[in-house]
């Protein structure tokens, strides 16, 4: 009987360690994916950005997704519409656009990212140059494939 208890205890201990290691690996992979996403977010808004940068950014999103800009009440849920808007922004004259990650908090299939954006841009539809520094908090929900299914952007 003691042998069975010992075997069961060892089995459950190994099971818990393996499950914990898998959870840590998933969390680490989503942390890496979150950092890569923010890098792609920045790369699509550089002076030399191209359609390839836009496509790379879009590759982080699931086919069925939502991108919400909470402050402005804007929701995009169609990749074709999303891509068109991003391609329009390639017409902007970008002097510089820097994005830095200030903090990342990971949850179960979700990341909360605080970023700072410093940019100098002349939007293609305006006659003035806009320079600004702003913060943003993003909540990024991932699906079971590690793709973004819901992005909420909380602008300062």
Residues 101-143 have pLDDT tens digits of: 999 999 999 999 999 999 999 999 999 999 999 999 999 999 9
CA-CA distance, 39 to 33, in Å (whole number)? 10
Number of domains within the chain = 1
What CA dihedral angle connects 129, 134, 140 and 146, to 10 degrees? 60
Other C-beta atoms closer than 10 Å to the C-beta of 5 total: 9
Report the mean per-residue pLDDT for the chain. 89
Q: pTM of the prediction?
A: 0.81
CATH classification at residue 70: 3.10.450.50
Give the DSSP letter of residue 71: G
Give the DSSP letter of residue 95: E
Token duo for residue 25: 């690996």
- Domain of 103, in residue numbers: 2-155
| Tens digit of pLDDT at every position of the chain (156 positions) | 666 665 545 554 545 544 444 444 455 599 999 999 999 999 999 999 999 999 999 999 999 999 999 999 999 999 999 999 999 999 999 999 999 999 999 999 999 999 999 999 999 999 999 999 999 999 999 999 999 999 999 998
């Amino acid at each position: 009987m003691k042998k069975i208890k010992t075997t069961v205890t060892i089995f459950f201990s190994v099971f818990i360690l393996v499950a914990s290691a898998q959870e840590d690996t998933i969390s680490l992979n989503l942390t890496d994916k979150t950092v890569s996403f923010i890098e792609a977010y920045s790369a699509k808004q550089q002076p030399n950005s191209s359609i390839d940068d836009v496509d790379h950014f879009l590759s982080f999103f699931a086919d069925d997704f939502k991108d919400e800009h909470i402050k402005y009440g804007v929701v995009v849920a169609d990749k074709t519409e999303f891509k068109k808007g991003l391609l329009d922004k390639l017409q902007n004259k970008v002097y510089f656009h820097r994005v830095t990650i200030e903090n990342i908090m990971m949850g179960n299939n979700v990341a909360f990212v605080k970023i700072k954006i410093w940019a100098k841009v002349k939007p293609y539809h305006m006659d003035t140059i806009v320079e600004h520094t702003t913060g943003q908090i993003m909540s990024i929900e991932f699906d079971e494939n590690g793709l973004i299914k819901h992005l909420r952007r909380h602008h300062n």
